[in-house]
């Protein structure tokens, strides 16, 4: 686990003031740079030592068979896994023939800083070789938001007190040896030697390699070019070999002199283009980057991020750790989706190989709400990827015997990649999650072109699945049986409340879209009878409720199950999935992650305030949070129920998921959904933001541990700023036409240049709910800085 103090607490950066080799893999994840297309883990420049080397291209994967001891119909036959493509980060340094390696000699100082405003990862070190030669090394790297195929490094070396012969070797390296898997089912098994060399070219200070993946047949090009600044003559020698290229620069430096190297790295890939086509794509990207120059790339990066922070920043007064963490989270979420351009947003972004680089429902439920209100073009891109893989989802539904589309539980290219059938087959709620994200995006942006096109296609194919999957009973109630909801400790259940309520939204949204766009409805073969059947199913949807307990049952019969023995479960037995068989978990009242509580957050109008309070109190003692997706949801609903300090505690857990490595798997990549959930907990929890058709509602309240929060959201071409203190909320419209808002129970119209202040009414919550033994979140009031 990353200890408190590993990183200094600063509002706009993440600073590591000493190198801890035991935490190298975790730091590589949190220091990763990406733009949604290209990702580099935060490995040391010299490449060794490392926890997990990683260079990734979104959508580039290798296939592998999924073996089964007992094959069964409908199980996927092959999986997909993100691969480590050609590493362009490598810059090896030799000082009087001694390789710079932090494990040898004396490392006098070492610092790394990730600056959220510039997008730069900077490093400085002073090192003495085993032979006594001292040098200072400084580097800065970026992955460009404006030139999506480009990354760049500025590398400088200077002797400290004596003349030194310096050799800097800049490399491209494919098929790096990867560490073995660790047995964690959330991690990926290493795929080695998957890149087949096709061509190598080098000239002067530049080189390009082209490889093809062994089974998925994707062609990948990687190239590098350099600008060298040295006070003395420098010998430059290029070399290429099947899996690599090296440009070696050698000179002699006196104290006070330095060698400065600018390295441009470009990537390209395709499943269709020829070898010359991919090679020339890389050369062109490098040429454009060199024309822009290092200073130009820095200026473009700062301009891009200035614009992002102007519309996305969240200010937090009273909890310095959360202030740093929410900006860290916003930066990583932007990196995961900014330039994905119709590619998925994986659960780990492009920061590691956790979950094999797959995208899940996390994207639509946790990440897209943030992007929709801060970077809507990135949200639209992720939804267009779902639209692009809809044909595979239609095939999957047909394979399972249903109409419509059955979107995959986990995938990269569109095919289901989970061999665990209760999730890969029965977690149909992903369909409704996608439809929910479509509806929220359209409502927040007013993007009618998207709604008529990809949006309506997605709403239609998902709605058709529900009508095919569900059935009416003799009393006319509509049931959806045999499904797995968000809580993976309850599988193949009947009438999961979350699934049913989200399916209801899906069916209604599809029917309304068909009514708004009759021509498109005809193109999609939606007739009056089909649309009416969607509405009828939605209206008659069965929602389980336990009258005796006065709470909603997570699924039919859930509340009559035996309660898990929490008191008898020691801390070392968590997460439960690694220590107990699923057959035991499935028949007990134990919740891995917010399920019914998530339904209350996304479908709040389906519950009364009293029902929300009782449900929240009932499910808190059952929820163990063995998933990083849970704390942020519990934060939002705790705030709505008036348990503001508890909400603050859950906010801290979501915010520090990776900066403290709370799930013990940050080494495999950061948790993009939990990082987005930090924003959700602040804006949706303490800001009380909720949607209604054509309107945003705010019900703000702050815990004692926070003095103020402020944030901006984009809504239908408007830039709306909200500032919240304990006493009042101030609403300001920076740009756009007047907008109708609701503050608690009061509606008002907000105009540009005329801020409005509204008092915050008090709330009297009931008794603070308890959590399972040993599973309460850490109290923030005791940890404020």
At 562-577, the pLDDT tens digits run: 999 999 999 999 999 9
Buried b / exposed e across 409-434, counting CB within 10 Å, b at 16+? Answer: bbbbbbbbbbbbbbbbbbbbbbbbbb
> Looking up tokens 């007047």, which residue turns up?
738
Strand arrangement of the beta sheet that strand 38-40 belongs to:
33-34, 38-40, 55-57
The two structure tokens encoding residue 713:
């959201």
Selection from 630, 596, 631, 602 nearest residue 616 by Cα: 596
Percent of the chain with pLDDT over 70: 98
Percent of the chain with pLDDT over 90: 93
Half-sphere exposure of 507 (CA within 13 A, CB side): 27
> Mean of the pLDDT values across residues 240-252?
97
Helix axes 429-445, 497-516, angle to 10 degrees: 50
> Mean of the pLDDT values across residues 604-622?
97
In DSSP notation, 10-49 reads: -SSEEEE-S--GGGHHHHHHHT-EE-SSEEE----TT--S
At 535-556, the pLDDT tens digits run: 999 999 999 999 999 999 999 9
**Whether the Cβ atoms of residue 162 and residue 133 lie closer than 8 Å to each other:** yes
Can 488 be counted among the known catalytic residues?
Answer: yes
**Whether the Cβ atoms of residue 152 and residue 264 lie closer than 8 Å to each other:** yes
The answer to whether the bond into 208 is cis (omega within 30° of 0) is: no
Selection from 87, 88, 105 nearest residue 96 by Cα: 105
- What pLDDT score was predicted for residue 224? 98
- Report how far Cα 64 is from the mean position of its chain's Cα atoms: 24
- What pLDDT score was predicted for residue 188? 58
All residues at 6 or more sequence positions from 471 whose CB lies less than 8 Å from its CB, including other chains: 478, 479, 481
pLDDT at 784 over 80: no
**Whether the Cβ atoms of residue 259 and residue 234 lie closer than 8 Å to each other:** yes
Helix or strand run (H / E) with residue 204: none
- N- to C-terminal Cα distance for the chain? 20
**Mean pLDDT value across the chain:** 96
Helix or strand run (H / E) with residue 642: none
Which DSSP category does 218 fall into? -
Exposed / middle / buried, residue 276 (Cβ in 10 Å: 0-12, 13-18, 19+) = exposed
- Bridge partners of 249, per DSSP, are 168, 236
Cα three-residue angle 667-663-345, rounded to 5 degrees: 65
R_g of the chain computed on alpha carbons: 27
> Looking up tokens 């490595």, which residue turns up?
661
Which DSSP category does 453 fall into? I
Of 177-191, 501-515, 564-578, 643-657, where does mean pLDDT reach its minimum? 177-191
- pTM for this model (two decimals): 0.96
Compute the distance between CA of residue 31 and CA of residue 143 in angstroms, rounded to an integer. 12
> Looking up tokens 């003349």, which residue turns up?
163
Compute the distance between CA of residue 141 and CA of residue 119 in angstroms, rounded to an integer. 9
> Mean of the pLDDT values across residues 662-683?
97
Phi, psi of 326 (to 5 degrees): -70, -35
Compute the distance between CA of residue 310 and CA of residue 334 in angstroms, rounded to an integer. 13
**Whether the Cβ atoms of residue 540 and residue 478 lie closer than 8 Å to each other:** yes
**Whether the Cβ atoms of residue 312 and residue 374 lie closer than 8 Å to each other:** yes
Number of neighbouring beta carbons within 10 Å of residue 525: 8
111 band by pLDDT with thresholds 50, 70 and 90: very high
Helix or strand run (H / E) with residue 717: none
Which DSSP category does 719 fall into? E
- What pLDDT score was predicted for residue 165? 97
- What pLDDT score was predicted for residue 785? 46
Cα three-residue angle 189-192-193, rounded to 5 degrees: 160
> Looking up tokens 């859950």, which residue turns up?
650
pLDDT at 186 over 90: no
Cα three-residue angle 231-233-237, rounded to 5 degrees: 125
Selection from 698, 695, 687 nearest residue 740 by Cα: 695
The two structure tokens encoding residue 192:
């080695």
Compute the distance between CA of residue 27 and CA of residue 636 in angstroms, rounded to an integer. 29
Of 104-113, 305-314, 492-501, 689-698, where does mean pLDDT reach its minimum? 689-698
- What pLDDT score was predicted for residue 694? 84
- Report how far Cα 581 is from the mean position of its chain's Cα atoms: 29
Catalytic residue among 62, 488, 663, 723: 488
**Whether the Cβ atoms of residue 722 and residue 711 lie closer than 8 Å to each other:** yes
Compute the distance between CA of residue 356 and CA of residue 189 in angstroms, rounded to an integer. 8
- Bridge partners of 635, per DSSP, are none
- What pLDDT score was predicted for residue 189? 57
All residues at 6 or more sequence positions from 333 whose CB lies less than 8 Å from its CB, including other chains: 349, 367, 370, 371, 672, 675, 676, 679
pLDDT at 190 over 70: no
Which DSSP category does 194 fall into? -
Longest dimension (CA), the chain: 91
**Whether the Cβ atoms of residue 6 and residue 20 lie closer than 8 Å to each other:** yes
All residues at 6 or more sequence positions from 560 whose CB lies less than 8 Å from its CB, including other chains: none
> Looking up tokens 């997909």, which residue turns up?
80
pLDDT at 69 over 90: no
Selection from 532, 539, 527, 513 nearest residue 458 by Cα: 513
SS in 3 state form for 351-406?
CCCHHHHCECCHHHHHHHHHHHHHCHHHHHHHHHHHHHCHHHHHHHHHHHCCCCCC
Measured CA to CA in angstroms, residue 479 lies from 499, 541, 617 at distances of 10, 6, 27
At 25-35, the pLDDT tens digits run: 999 999 999 99
Strands 78-82 vs 61-65: parallel, antiparallel or unpaired: antiparallel
**Whether the Cβ atoms of residue 87 and residue 96 lie closer than 8 Å to each other:** no
φ/ψ bin of 710: left (φ > 0), alpha (ψ from -120 to 50), beta (otherwise): beta
φ/ψ bin of 515: left (φ > 0), alpha (ψ from -120 to 50), beta (otherwise): alpha
> Mean of the pLDDT values across residues 340-363?
96
766 band by pLDDT with thresholds 50, 70 and 90: confident
All residues at 6 or more sequence positions from 348 whose CB lies less than 8 Å from its CB, including other chains: 29, 354, 355, 357, 668, 669, 670, 671, 672
The two structure tokens encoding residue 505:
């939204």
Compute the distance between CA of residue 53 and CA of residue 24 in angstroms, rounded to an integer. 11
> Mean of the pLDDT values across residues 708-713?
98
The two structure tokens encoding residue 179:
């560490």
In DSSP notation, 541-598 reads: B---EETTTTEE-SSTTGGGSEEP-STT--GGG-SGGGTS-HHHHHTEE-BSS-SHHH
Compute the distance between CA of residue 214 and CA of residue 196 in angstroms, rounded to an integer. 6
Count of residues for the chain?
785
Compute the distance between CA of residue 278 and CA of residue 530 in angstroms, rounded to an integer. 47
At 397-443, the pLDDT tens digits run: 999 999 999 999 999 999 999 998 899 999 999 999 999 999 999 99
What is the three-class DSSP state of 119? Answer: coil
């Amino acid at each position: 686990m990353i200890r408190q103090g590993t990183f200094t607490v600063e509002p706009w950066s993440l600073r590591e003031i000493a190198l801890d080799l035991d935490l190298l893999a975790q730091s590589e994840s949190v220091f990763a740079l990406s733009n949604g297309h290209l990702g580099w883990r935060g490995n040391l420049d010299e490449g060794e030592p490392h926890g997990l080397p990683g260079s990734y291209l979104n959508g580039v994967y290798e296939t592998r068979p999924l073996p089964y001891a007992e094959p069964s119909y409908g199980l996927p036959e092959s999986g997909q896994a993100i691969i480590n493509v050609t590493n362009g980060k490598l810059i090896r340094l030799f000082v009087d023939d001694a390789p710079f390696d932090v494990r040898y000699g004396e490392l006098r100082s070492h610092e790394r800083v990730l600056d959220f405003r510039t997008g730069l990862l900077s490093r400085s070190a002073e090192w003495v070789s085993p032979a006594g030669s001292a040098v200072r090394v400084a580097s800065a790297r970026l992955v460009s938001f404006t030139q999506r195929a480009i990354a760049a490094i500025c590398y400088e070396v200077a002797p400290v007190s004596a003349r030194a012969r310096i050799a800097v070797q800049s490399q491209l390296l494919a098929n790096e040896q990867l560490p073995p898997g660790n047995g964690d089912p959330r991690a990926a098994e290493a795929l080695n030697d998957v890149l087949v060399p096709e061509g190598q070219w080098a000239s002067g200070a530049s080189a390009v390699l082209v490889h093809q993946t062994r089974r998925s047949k994707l062609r990948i090009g990687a190239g590098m070019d350099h600008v060298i600044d040295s006070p003395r003559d420098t010998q430059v020698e290029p070399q290429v070999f099947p899996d690599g290229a090296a440009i070696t620069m050698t000179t002699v430096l006196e104290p006070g002199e330095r060698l400065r190297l600018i390295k441009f790295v470009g990537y390209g890939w395709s499943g269709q283009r020829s070898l010359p086509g991919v090679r020339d794509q890389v050369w062109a990207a490098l040429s454009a980057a060199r024309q822009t120059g290092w200073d130009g790339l820095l200026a473009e990066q700062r301009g891009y991020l200035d614009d992002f922070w102007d519309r996305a920043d969240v200010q937090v007064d009273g909890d310095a750790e959360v202030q740093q963490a929410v900006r860290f989270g916003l930066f990583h979420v932007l990196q995961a989706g900014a330039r994905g351009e119709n590619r998925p947003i994986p659960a780990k972004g492009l920061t590691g190989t956790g979950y094999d680089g797959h995208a899940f429902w996390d994207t639509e439920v946790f990440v897209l709400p943030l992007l929709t209100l801060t970077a809507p073009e990135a949200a639209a891109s992720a939804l267009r990827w779902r639209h692009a893989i809809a044909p595979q989802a239609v095939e999957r539904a047909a394979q399972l015997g249903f109409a419509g589309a059955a979107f995959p539980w986990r995938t990269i290219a569109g095919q289901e990649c989970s061999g665990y059938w209760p999730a890969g087959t029965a977690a149909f709620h992903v369909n409704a999650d996608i439809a929910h994200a479509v509806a929220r995006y359209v409502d927040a942006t007013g993007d009618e072109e998207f709604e008529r096109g990809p949006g309506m296609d997605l709403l239609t194919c998902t709605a058709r699945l529900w009508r095919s999957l569900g059935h009416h009973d003799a009393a006319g109630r509509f049931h959806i049986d045999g499904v797995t909801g968000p809580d993976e400790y309850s599988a193949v259940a009947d009438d999961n409340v979350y699934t049913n309520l989200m399916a209801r939204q899906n069916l209604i949204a599809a029917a309304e879209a068909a009514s708004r766009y009759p021509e498109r409805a005809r193109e999609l073969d939606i007739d009056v009878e089909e649309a009416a059947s969607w509405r009828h199913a939605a209206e008659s949807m069965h929602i389980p409720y336990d009258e005796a307990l006065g709470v909603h049952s997570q699924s039919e019969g859930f509340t009559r199950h035996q309660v898990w023995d929490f008191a008898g479960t020691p801390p070392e037995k968590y997460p439960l999935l690694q220590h107990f068989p699923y057959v035991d978990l499935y028949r007990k009242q134990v919740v891995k992650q917010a399920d019914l509580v998530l339904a209350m957050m996304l479908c709040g109008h389906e519950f009364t305030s009293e029902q929300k309070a009782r449900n929240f109190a009932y499910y808190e003692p059952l929820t163990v949070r063995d998933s990083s997706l849970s704390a942020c949801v519990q934060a939002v609903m705790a705030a709505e129920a008036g348990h503001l300090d508890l909400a603050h505690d859950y906010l801290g857990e979501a915010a520090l998921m990776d900066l403290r490595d709370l799930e013990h798997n940050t080494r495999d990549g950061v948790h993009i959904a939990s990082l987005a959930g930090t924003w959700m907990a602040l804006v949706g929890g303490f800001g009380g933001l909720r949607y209604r058709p054509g309107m945003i509602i705010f019900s703000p309240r702050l815990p004692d541990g926070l003095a103020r929060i402020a944030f901006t959201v984009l809504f239908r071409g408007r830039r709306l700023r909200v500032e919240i203190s304990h006493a009042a909320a101030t609403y300001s419209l920076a740009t756009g036409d007047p907008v109708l808002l609701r503050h608690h129970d009061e509606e008002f119209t907000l105009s540009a240049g005329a801020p409005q202040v509204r008092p915050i009414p008090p709330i009297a919550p009931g008794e603070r709910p308890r959590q399972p033994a040993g599973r309460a979140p850490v109290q923030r009031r005791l940890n404020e800085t």
